[in-house]
Amino acid sequence: MASAAPDTPTLYIRLRKRVRMAKGTPILLGRVAQILIEPEWEEPLKRIVLHTPNETDGNYVVIDMMTVVRKVKELIPHVTVEHFGEPQTVVELKDASASAGSRFLLVPVWLLLFVGSGLAIMNFHTDVSMQEVHRKLFWMITGRRDAHPLIMQIPYSLGVGAGMVIFFNRLFRKKFNEEPNPLEVEMFMYEESVHQYVVTDEYEKMQKQDGQRLDESRRDRP
């Protein structure tokens, strides 16, 4: 790392990987990064506006380190920037009205998933003739025939529910240990894929815009 002169402030900065903000809110440096600098510069740097979202930005905005350095240099021309961590941050723009409306869909979606999963389990048991299996097991163990061997069916039903709780490591909001469950791992992998896609897509858009500006500047030359 380059050494700075005694009178030259040094900014240590780490960009956050992902930030969620409301649409229309200016993106400030203090929201997307952790910074360490002399106290007199900390608040002015945190209030730097890196980008003001508009309708063409969509739901994602990528702020790269070059944008941050350019904005910081406008405020403190002689600053030395030491960067750690991610080279860019993804800002997800959320619509407040849309998030409020999604709460009303919680109960219908929950009921739909509950009924759908219940039907899926019942259809599976019908396909594999689980009731007939219970009857045969009951006859093999007791020597008696019973059309409804509840002593086999009730423990089996409780075991299915307990197995799902143990498998997903969650009972409502309570987790039994810190180990992630398979659903959380899949969601993490999905978010990582979305993150990489958004970064790549935004960089491609930026390159196209830079190319268009370069072509326009060439045409304007005499």
pLDDT tens digit at each of 222 positions of the chain: 444 444 688 999 999 989 988 888 899 999 999 999 999 999 999 999 998 888 777 788 888 898 899 999 999 999 999 999 888 899 988 876 655 566 778 888 889 988 998 899 888 888 888 888 888 888 888 888 888 888 888 888 888 888 888 887 777 677 777 778 888 888 889 988 988 888 888 778 777 766 666 666 666 665
The Cα 143–Cα 157 span in angstroms is: 23
pLDDT of residue 98: 59
Q: Are 94 and 21 in contact (CB under 8 A)?
A: yes
Residue 217: left if φ>0, alpha if ψ -120 to 50, beta else—which one? alpha
Nearest to 57 by CA among 94, 29, 97, 28: 94
Nearest to 30 by CA among 16, 6, 47: 47
pLDDT of residue 207: 75
Calculate the alpha carbon distances from 27 to 1, 46, 91, 93, 137 in Å.
28, 10, 8, 10, 65
Provide the residue type at 160 as one letter: V
**Sole residue written with tokens 């730097």:** 48
The Cα 19–Cα 28 span in angstroms is: 11
Structural domains of the chain ordered from first start: 10-98 (2.60.480.10)
pLDDT of residue 1: 42
Tokens of 12: 């240590």
